[in-house]
Structure 1
Amino acid sequence: MKIIPRRSIERGQADHDWLKTFHTFSFAMYYNGEHEQFGALRVLNEDRVAPSTGFGTHGHREFEIFSYVVNGELEHRDSMGNVEVLKRGDLQLTSAGTGIRHSEKTHGPNPVHFLQIWSQPWKNGLTPKYFTRHFTDEEKKDKWAHVVAPVNSPGVSLEREAKGPTPVQSPVSLFTTLLSPSKSVSHTFPPSIESGATDTSTHRKVYMHVAQTSGYNPNEAEGASVKISGAGADTVLREGDGAYIFGEAGEEMSVENVGDRVAEVFLFDT
């Protein structure tokens, strides 16, 4: 197994007063040719938006766009007529397809902290769609919750609101956990991507990210820490850090909380 850390301080970042944001991959004014995408995963932004502000109405096409709320409330409006306030544990997907317009703004008196995630669809020209899912903290406590999966995966509903993973028109699965101190979870690299595509390679890859739940750009003396290990490789990630991880099908990876507080961890299988 091979682990390549993506440290928080090395990510693209900007402080616009109303918006504090970190970019794992090239986005907006930030460009880094070594970090443009990972498999179908194209955007992973960690945003904090001040009250009474947000992203005004703007357009998207040919991307699968997720909003995962860590804290606060996020108001979504779009050209398909969807109006919704997303809260802690909510995950919303806009399958932009041939084109949509939407806005995302802070709802209520407190800032909103959320992850903005984009993946590339299997094909262009899809009909725009909208999905919402809710996952409780208990569902994620010291175990992986499968929160996003390709549309043709077992247990995936195509209803606007339903139980189970959010459907995505892309070869991406997302798992998340709230990992307590000294606890660990494992991940086994799958034998094939969940889309059922004819990929016969045994080489698999995942991207892992640790949310900045202790605050915007926490210093070394605070925040959660997790250790990734497997097949002779290991590294420690702090809040805001990520890692590119490469393994062979069937290989197992361990994720252990080596800090003193709960860590919110995201694992993208792409």
Structure 2
Amino acid sequence: MSEIKVIPRYSQDRGHADHDWLKTFHSFSFAMYQDFNHEKYSSLRVINEDRVAARTGFGTHSHREFEIFSYVVEGELEHKDSMGNIEVLKRGDLQLTSAGTGISHSEKAHGNKPVHFLQIWSLPSTSRLQPKYFTRHFSDDEKRDTWVRVVANVNAEGVQKDLREGSKQGEGPAPVQSPLTMYATLLRQGQSLGQMMKGSKGYVHVVMRSGYNEGAANGATVRVAGQTLREGDGAYLQVPLAGEVLVENIGDRIAEVILFDLE
């Protein structure tokens, strides 16, 4: 069986912007950062690692035909949208907006502390859908040394579809209209964790938890299919049939890792 091919996407090579109120890294082309070599990967279109200063944020703006989800790492994120949803998201929360035919929303740091979150966009398989909003909560204990499925295709096994919409009413993964699955883990030092992939592609990202760093990443260090990655780093994965992605924590602290299984 052929091995998984890993193409690193190092943190210092990502797009980067410092707007004082917002410090952000872009894994894919976004806003003023444009790189034809990193436009998207399968249905995955945006991974922004955002740090928003206290009492600031993204004012009301509009989207359509994207699946937009926020994975809160630290602090509190206040969400408001044109569907009437108002919610404060905390660590462990995941919020998913299926923009469909169009929504407007704002995302701001809530309270007196900054918020650190991953802003992720994917491309839906079906256009002109009714906009919907979902939130889920996944505790640190749930994610410790295991992969937790936090987002999955609406037709995947175990996904609750429209039955559990809004305000963390549901359990299990948030339903996305894209052909992807998103996993998250908190991997302790010396531990390893495998995940069988269903798609032919994958993407992995190591969350930059130790602090904002414009240069080569410090902090947690993992090995993914033999490739060393540090905080802020990611990698494109090309996966053979029935391939398994193995992540090993080879550093001196807990690593928070996000893995996407893509068609």
TM-score > 0.5, shorter chain as reference: yes
Contact 2:217/2:233, CA 8 A, preserved across alignment: no
Give the alignment's TM-score, normalised by structure 2.
0.94
The letter for the 1-side match of 2:254 is V
Match of 1:165 among 152, 169, 173: 173
Q: CA deviation at 1:222?
A: 3.6
Post-superposition, which runs of at least 4 consecutive aligned residues in structure 1 deviate over 3 A?
218-222
State yes or no: 1:174 paired with 2:166. Answer: no
Tell me the alpha carbon deviations over residues 176-205 of structure 1, each in whole angstroms, 9 at most, x when there is no partner.
000000001001222xx5xxxxxxxxxx11
Tell me the alpha carbon deviations over residues 129-150 of structure 1, each in whole angstroms, 9 at most, x when there is no partner.
0000000001100010000000
Matches within 5 A, 1:43-122: 43-122=46-125
Match of 2:203 among 189, 202, 207: 207
Partner of 2:29: 26
**Structure 2 CA distance for partners of 1:170 and 1:53, relative to 1, 3 Å:** same
SS at match of 1:27: coil
Distance 1:144 1:250 in 2: 17
The letter for the 1-side match of 2:234 is G
Give the alignment's TM-score, normalised by structure 1.
0.92
Unaligned runs of 5+ in 1: 194-203
Contact 1:64/1:118, CA 8 A, preserved across alignment: yes
The letter for the 1-side match of 2:80 is R
Partner of 1:201: none
Contact 1:212/1:218, CA 8 A, preserved across alignment: no
Partner of 2:222: 226
Tell me the alpha carbon deviations over residues 19-73 of structure 1, each in whole angstroms, 9 at most, x when there is no partner.
0000000000100000000000000000000001000000000000001100000
Q: Would you say how many aligned residue pairs link Structure 1 and Structure 2? A: 254
The letter for the 1-side match of 2:83 is M
SS at match of 2:36: coil
Contact 1:218/1:239, CA 8 A, preserved across alignment: no
SS at match of 1:42: strand
Partner of 2:233: 241
Q: Identity over the aligned pairs, expressed in percent?
A: 63
Q: How much is the aligned-residue C-alpha RMSD, in angstroms? A: 1.1
Partner of 2:133: 130
Contact 1:149/1:168, CA 8 A, preserved across alignment: yes
